[in-house]
Structures are given as C-alpha cells and as structure tokens.
Amino acid sequence: MTKFKPFIVLGALLVFITLLIPSLLVLPFKDDRVTGKLGERLKQEDDTKPTAETSNEPAVEVAVFRMKTKQVDTLPLEDYVVGVVASEMPRAFEKEALKAQALAARTYIVNQMIRENKSELPGGALVTDTVEHQVYKDMDEIRKTFGADYKWAIEKITEAVKETSGQIIVYEGSPIDASFFSTSNGHTENSEAIWLNAVPYLKSVESPWDIKSPEFSDQKIFTISEFENRLGVKLPSDNTIGTITERTAGKRVGEVEINGKVLTGKVIREKLGLKSTDFTWKRQGNKIVIDTRGYGHGVGMSQYGANGMASEGKTYKDIISYYYKGVEITNSENYLTKVLARK
C-alpha cells in the first residue's frame, strides 16, 4: 500500500490546482465592465449623465435654493460648477475661456463656503440659482436650453471643468472675489467705481476683444417725463440733459450733474435699466435717446474678452492673470478640508 502514496498525494495536488486555477483566472477580471451589446448600451446610459466629480477631491456638496420651486438642491461641488458654467457663459466659447469661467465659478462658491457670515436662505442653502449669487441650472434645464447642441456642448463644458478640477484663484492666500461680467466697453473697471472698497486685484485693464461682442452696443429711448420720474430730476429748459463731471478709470460715467442734482453713473444705470455705465445721451423732441457701450458692471473678468484671448491662443491661466492682477491659481483642497472639518 505504501508504494501508492506518492500517486495519492499527486492526485490530491492536481485536484487542488484544478480547483484553484479558475479562481485565479476570475479574480483579476471580476471588475471588468459588461461587454457586447449590453455593455454598449450601459456605456451609452453612462454617457448621458456627465459628471465633473473626481475621486481625489474632498467630498464637498453645495446646497442651492431654487427660486422657482422654492426647494433646495444638494449636489457635488464640481457638478455645481458645470451647471454654473453652462448657465453663465455661451456654450460656443473656446474651451480655455470656459476653463477660466470654471475657475471664477469655483472660487466664488468656495469663498461662500468659508465665509463666517453666510446667507440666511431656507433649508440651509448656501446660494440661490440667480444672479444674486451665480446663475445655476440643473441638467434637465440645460438640456432644454441647449436643445440639439446639448451633447457636444455639455461634453465640452464638463471637460473644461474637469481639466481645472479643484483649482481656485487666491490673492495673498485667500480666495478672491472672482467677479465677472459679459462685455466691457474696451476697458474693465476699478472695483471702487462700482462698490465701496478698492480691491487690489480688481483693477482696470484694456479689453479690446469685446468690440466683437453682440452685446457691445445698445440703445434705450425714454420720454422726458419717464426719464425725470425714474431719476427724480427736472431737466433744464435749454434742451440739454446734464453734464458729465467725472469719468472712471474704466472710461465710464462716474458722476453727472443734472440741473443742480448730482447722480453717479451706477445709480443712473440701475434706475434706467441700462446695460452699462458707459453711456451718451441726447434729446430728440420729447424723447431721451441713450446709447451704451458694454454690458455689465465691468469689474473683473470680461467673458467676451476671455473668449477673445482664448481665440488668440491664450490659456485659461493667461486669462485669469490678465483680468485679476497679482493672483495665483492653487488647489482648493486645503480650504475645503476646513469646510468639512466644521461639519
């Protein structure tokens, strides 16, 4: 009997190896995607749900108060940035311009997160989905807005956000107020011309690309009585309107004197609903005709200027450093980690 023991051991060993090999073969491939037609269908389903989330960033979410539904939507930060870029900048713009917009949008929301004094919105929301903060639309809204352009446009925007994932703009170690607007009059504006404080990185620069913007010129016409009522003034009887007494660094109207009353260009723009504080006006019979150049407050990054720079081969980093003076681009991880630590 003993002379057969080696064969018994060998047989047992072969049985063990036979059982083991299938396991070894299966383990390395157990996470493979489904292939064939089913796999293709699943891949197509995945492709219809673009996401800008990356696994190496802190899991931070943004709570957005939706003004129409009065509900709070909570979503990953990078997906929120996609929704803002798709809502705030034309989809046909160069990708480098979209990337610059992604940085501005991400910096804005990170700044909101780390602020001590937050907006008192319902449901613990951090921001609204309007120009009060940043315009945001969800994927269903974007799909309706983009129509036939949806697939290529959302892919390009999502790529722009992914390629800048986690990056924000800082000045002396703090996230900046990354203000932006549509179209300049050829120059951006100093912050103190619009707001109370002079911000060192929000300084006037030339922006010649904006002249190609469809928003560069506009005209509004008011009756004299409407003009007087809106501004709370009485026009002089000599067929004049007023005298511009001050210009800003951005070549806009700083102050105007109308029959003894002094108004700022900012106040005139707001009360008359003008697109810009760079305006000229004239009387035509019982009408006041006002022509404007540019669209928006003029502070920070011009979106059409950014696209013009991108069209000339400039990168998003070039665009950011041009419109925001003395800033750096850094990773948001340290700032977001502090936000998570508070929860």
The whole-model pTM stands at 0.81
| Beta-strand pair 167-171/328-331 | antiparallel
- Per-residue pLDDT averaged across 11-22, rounded? 42
Answer whether residue 18 shows pLDDT above 50.
Answer: no
Predicted confidence at residue 130, as pLDDT, reads 96
In this prediction, residue 116 has a pLDDT band, given cuts at 50, 70 and 90, of confident
- Per-residue pLDDT averaged across 35-55, rounded? 46
Residues 6+ apart with CB under 8 A from 55: none
Answer whether residue 292 shows pLDDT above 80.
Answer: yes
What is the Cα–Cα distance from 178 to 201, expressed in whole angstroms?
A: 10
Predicted confidence at residue 340, as pLDDT, reads 66
Predicted confidence at residue 343, as pLDDT, reads 60
What is the Cα–Cα distance from 80 to 160, expressed in whole angstroms?
A: 13
The CB density around residue 24, as the number of other CB atoms within 10 Å, is 9
* Cα three-residue angle 340-341-343, rounded to 5 degrees: 70
Residues 6+ apart with CB under 8 A from 163: 99
Predicted confidence at residue 28, as pLDDT, reads 34
What is the Cα–Cα distance from 299 to 312, expressed in whole angstroms?
A: 22
Closest CA to 166 of 118, 99, 119, 72: 99
- Token code pair at residue 223: 């009756």
Residues 6+ apart with CB under 8 A from 206: 186, 187
Helices (H), the chain: 5-26, 36-47, 77-88, 95-114, 139-146, 150-162, 224-231, 265-272, 303-311, 316-323, 333-342
| Beta-strand pair 71-76/61-66 | antiparallel
Q: What is the mean pLDDT of the chain?
A: 86
Predicted confidence at residue 32, as pLDDT, reads 34
Q: What is the pLDDT of residues 249-271, one digit of tens each?
A: 999 999 999 999 999 999 999 99
Q: What is the pLDDT of residues 53-72, one digit of tens each?
A: 544 555 789 999 999 999 99
In this prediction, residue 119 has a pLDDT band, given cuts at 50, 70 and 90, of confident
Answer yes or no: are the C-beta atoms of 248 and 193 closer than 8 Å. Answer: yes
Q: Give me the helix-helix angle, 150-162 and 139-146, nearest 10°.
A: 130
Q: What is the pLDDT of residues 185-225, one digit of tens each?
A: 999 999 999 998 999 999 999 999 999 999 999 999 999 99
Q: How far is C-alpha 249 from the chain's CA centre? A: 26
- Per-residue pLDDT averaged across 23-35, rounded? 34
Residues 6+ apart with CB under 8 A from 327: 169, 170, 171, 176, 201, 320, 321
Q: C-alpha distances in angstroms, 252 versus 13, 92, 141, 243, 257? A: 89, 29, 36, 14, 15
What is the Cα–Cα distance from 79 to 62, expressed in whole angstroms?
A: 9
What is the Cα–Cα distance from 129 to 212, expressed in whole angstroms?
A: 29
Q: How far is C-alpha 65 from the chain's CA centre? A: 17
> Which residue is associated with the tokens 């974007």?
142
Q: C-alpha distances in angstroms, 36 versus 49, 200, 325? A: 21, 58, 53
